[in-house]
Amino acid sequence: MLGKTIVMTGATSGIGRVAAEQLAAQGARIVFVARDAARGEATLSRLRQLGPRAEHRVHHADLSSLADMKRVAGEIAAAEPRIDVLANNAGALFGSRQVTRDGLETTFATNHLSYFVLTHGLRERLAAGGARVVNTSSASHRSAPADVEDWQSAKKFSSFGAYSRSKLYNILFTRELARRLAGTGATANAFHPGFVATRFGSGSGPVLAVAVRAAQWFALTPAQGADTLVYLAASPEVATVSGQYFYKRHIAKTTAAARNDELARRLWAESERLTGIRWEANPRG
């Protein structure tokens, strides 16, 4: 990874931080997006220790805000002539249905639309470098509610239901993105990190946060969870693989809904409508 530039969200804690540190130690330059300034600076300091010759950089943004998503994508695109890996890793679980300033359900905005908007904003840099897009999904997509056309859980909300849907959307987004990147040299894959002991769920409310912490006694370590992310970002074995869902470095089976290309196209169209983005099939177009 020497000399490679990696853009990452969710790099200040959990599997994202471990992956960023491992990739920096391999010689990569890490450009990451952080919401919390203090955690962002702490992560930047650590990356500089691991890779002192690389000009690591942090950008600050709230990934639930469309304006922030578009702004930070523009800033990164302007500063980076080539991107080798985009790791869309940020994700959150919320204890109640919340709505962003844009009128979007917060789980949907943070866990899905941030992937969509950031990838769109960087599309020319990704195609120029024949880059890899790595999207963090989850096996929880298997329990996504059947009414997947209720994109933002407006009819019926539950914390894990909204989260599971967002992880299904990550896979559907990956499939459609891979189709649109075909012929550019760039690839897109999703993966399940496993259930990992991280800060995940810490902002979901006291009851849910306690339940998540209790379950973490049986969880994987962040290093174990980060392994497949690092593999998809760096391994030559998957340099030309695209549109797949991985678990423990292997292609894994998804649900029928996650393999539904018509559903993927409809989600893409809805994402364009909500964000005001028109994304042509050719990322250079």
Active site residues: 163
Which among 206, 99, 254 is positioned nearest to 162, based on CA atoms? 99
Containing 190, the helix (H) or strand (E) segment is strand 187-192
Helix spans in the chain (H):
14-25, 37-50, 66-79, 106-108, 114-121, 123-129, 159-181, 206-215, 222-234, 261-275
**Which residues, other chains included, contact 103 with Cβ-Cβ below 8 Å and sequence gap of 6+?**
none
**173: which 2 tokens?**
């987004």
**Which residues, other chains included, contact 218 with Cβ-Cβ below 8 Å and sequence gap of 6+?**
195
SS3 label, residue 35: coil
**204: which 2 tokens?**
């979901």
SS3 label, residue 101: coil
Report the distance separating Cα 189 and Cα 231, nearest Å.
Answer: 11
Report the distance separating Cα 22 and Cα 257, nearest Å.
Answer: 34
Give the number of residues written for the chain. Answer: 285
